[in-house]
Amino acid sequence: MSRRLLAINPVDHPGGAETTLMRLLSGLAVRDWEITVTTPGRGALSSAVELAGYNWQPLPLGGIGARQGTRAVVSFPRVRTLAAQADVVYLNGAVTGRALPALASAQRTVLHIHDMVRRVPRIWQLADVVLAASGAVAARLAGLDAEVVYPPVELHPPLADAPWKAGGGLLVGFVGRIEPRKGVLDLVQATPAIRAAVPNVRVVIVGDDPYRTTPRYMREVLASAADEGIEHIGWIDNAPGVMRHLDVLVLPSYEEPGGTVLAEAMAVGTPVVATAVDGLPEVVRDGKVGRLVPSGDPVALAAAVVEVLGKRIAMGEAAREWAQQFGIGSYVERVERLLSA
């Protein structure tokens, strides 16, 4: 007998939480779940949902910023109507917790927190199950007894051509959103020292600011990158496939709940350099699959990149083996048990 899942998502543009959601849904679909996904409106995510064969429904819950949740109340009748047709309501992200007061009659509610939250609203206690993207995230969720489920990755992603110009040299890259918390400018500032030690290295920045939240920071990063001869590539669809072409992936974040991109890189045999913040030490075995450094320290970042470049073959092999635990299959099995318990 099939089971019915209603997945409520707060944004229209795919990000890390949405990638996690779509990977979960792909596994549940082959396990005979009937799936409905909501987003605030039409966008790239609704298109992906319908392309995958799931039912899509519009459901605005207010903006993702602070003090924008009061508008969610207007959608409570629709939340109840949709939830009445589901066995499980899966709330993807902190913003979707706004819907919990409307779900008192739902059979089962699961709230998945992907961010390093700074406060825990009392209404989150209404959820039957709370999932956390890492132990660091769970530690912020006092009183909720959150279950840690690390973001899943494709262990064998489709092949992809490199989106940058062909040429020789070792490749060091950043892949992700260009925003202050990702620390991309630190990689730019570390580049001269990296090149001084490894003259044939190329540095690429792959990504964008899809929500246009920090346009000034992005302009500063791109201008500084251009001054250093760093190549910039916009948003790409198959990031895991592209990361096969990197010799080292760098994630110099100041705040990072789970580090999905690190696990994706390791799964294709690319070693990593990341900052030792929040959930990242849970994903990276320092000295084995890459290196961890303090945040905000371009000098340490450069030294770590140079070290990993020199050990990239052995670390890449170790990284691929280590990443097996983050595969989609085991993730879906674990989450499905929590959805159904």
pLDDT digits (tens, 9 = 90+) for 7-59: 999 998 888 899 999 999 999 999 999 999 999 999 999 999 999 999 999 99
**DSSP assignment letter at 157:** P
Q: Write the DSSP string, 211-237.
A: T-S-HHHHHHHHHHHHHTT-EEE---S
Contacts of 73 (CB under 8 A, 6+ apart): none
> Do residues 189 and 80 share a domain?
no
Residue 194 has pLDDT above 80, yes or no: yes
In the chain, % of residues over pLDDT 70: 99
> Do residues 307 and 274 share a domain?
yes
Domain for residue 102, yes or no?
yes
> Do residues 19 and 140 share a domain?
yes
State how many domains the chain has. Answer: 2
> Do residues 185 and 312 share a domain?
yes
> Do residues 94 and 212 share a domain?
no
Grade residue 66 by pLDDT with cuts at 50, 70 and 90. Answer: low
Q: Which residues pair with 131 in a beta bridge?
A: 112, 147
- Say if residues 11 and 45 touch (Cβ distance below 8 Å): yes
Domain for residue 339, yes or no?
no
Domain for residue 156, yes or no?
no
> Do residues 176 and 211 share a domain?
yes
> Do residues 104 and 189 share a domain?
no
Instruction: Give the domain CATH number at 10.
Output: 3.40.50.2000
Domain for residue 222, yes or no?
yes
> Do residues 209 and 286 share a domain?
yes
pLDDT digits (tens, 9 = 90+) for 157-190: 999 999 998 888 999 999 999 999 999 999 999 9
Helices and strands, counts by H and E, the chain: 12, 13
> Do residues 31 and 140 share a domain?
yes
pLDDT digits (tens, 9 = 90+) for 253-301: 999 999 999 999 999 999 999 999 999 999 999 999 999 999 999 999 9
Domain for residue 162, yes or no?
no
pLDDT digits (tens, 9 = 90+) for 116-125: 999 999 999 9
> Do residues 234 and 296 share a domain?
yes
Q: Write the DSSP string, 268-324.
A: TT--EEEE--TTHHHH--BTTTEEEE-TT-HHHHHHHHHHHHHTHHHHHHHHHHHGG
**Which residue range is the domain that position 318 belongs to?**
171-325
- How far is the C-alpha of 64 from the C-alpha of 40, rounded, in Å? 11
Half-sphere exposure of 332 (CA within 13 A, CB side): 18
Domain for residue 294, yes or no?
yes
DSSP reduced 3-state for 253: coil
Residue 207: phi, psi to the nearest 5? 150, -170
Domain for residue 334, yes or no?
no
Q: Write the DSSP string, 72-114.
A: GGGGHHHHHHHHTT-SEEEEESGGGGGGGGGGTT-S-EEEEE-
> Do residues 91 and 195 share a domain?
no
Domain for residue 158, yes or no?
no
> Do residues 141 and 188 share a domain?
no
Report the DSSP pairing between strands 129-132 and 171-175. unpaired
